[in-house]
Amino acid sequence: MINKETLSQTDFLYNYVVSGSVLGYLEIRIVDNVIDIINIFVNEENRNQKIATSLMNHMFENEDYNKIMLEVNENNIIALNLYKKLGFKEISIRNKYYKEDAAIIMQKED
Ligand SMILES: CC(C)(COP(=O)(O)OP(=O)(O)OC[C@H]1O[C@@H](n2cnc3c(N)ncnc32)[C@H](O)[C@@H]1OP(=O)(O)O)[C@@H](O)C(=O)NCCC(=O)NCCS
């Protein structure tokens, strides 16, 4: 089951819950019809079961948006693969955003 929690006027959390335990979550910020992905996380022992994919697809279906933006470490290949698979495109790079590593800025339009 996926539930939505309100954190503030702009910030929301989608929780992926099985038998009362949160196995993963997706935190977003919505300002002026633009969604920012703040974080997505799945417990290590529950990875590779499409939980992150389910959380993102659930958000796509339940939110009104013009575009979705995110930043990901250039070396986080797993997350990069996930986002590309979900239709995000690389739009720019910010060097040394994460100490020595660059951030890839990605965007998906509705
Ligand atoms: C990134 C993360 C959320 C993915 O969660 P997940 O539930 O395991 O992901 P899914 O099972 O939905 O996988 C979706 C896609 O991600 C990619 N992926 C997942 N695991 C992967 C791996 N070990 N190696 C390469 N690509 C991988 C694949 O493209 C996969 O699709 P496929 O199985 O059809 O090939 C999880 O690894 C995580 O919590 N990582 C730590 C936190 C983090 O880095 N968050 C992103 C911050 S920007």
pLDDT in tens, 94-104: 999 899 999 99
Distance CA 33, CA 36 (A): 10
pTM to 2 decimal places? 0.96
For the CA atoms of 76, 33, 87, 94, what is the dihedral angle to 10 degrees? -40
For atom 24 of ligand 1, the residue with the nearest CA is 78
**In sequence order, what are the residues at sequence separation of 6 or more whose Cβ sits closer than 8 angstroms to the Cβ of residue 99?**
none
Ligand 1 pocket, Cβ-based, cut-off 6 angstroms: 40-42, 47-53, 72, 76-79, 81-82, 85
Helix spans in the chain (H) = 51-62, 77-85
Average pLDDT over residues 101-108: 97
User: Which of 37, 45, 48 for a ligand 1 pocket mutation test, highest count of atoms within 8 Å of Cβ?
Assistant: 48
pLDDT tens digits, one per residue of 33-77: 999 999 999 999 999 999 999 999 999 999 999 999 999 999 999
Does the pLDDT value for residue 110 go beyond 90? no
Q: Which pLDDT does position 97 carry in this prediction?
A: 87
Q: CATH: 3.40.630.30, 3.40.50.300, 3.30.70.100, 1.20.1250.20. Which one for 2-109? A: 3.40.630.30
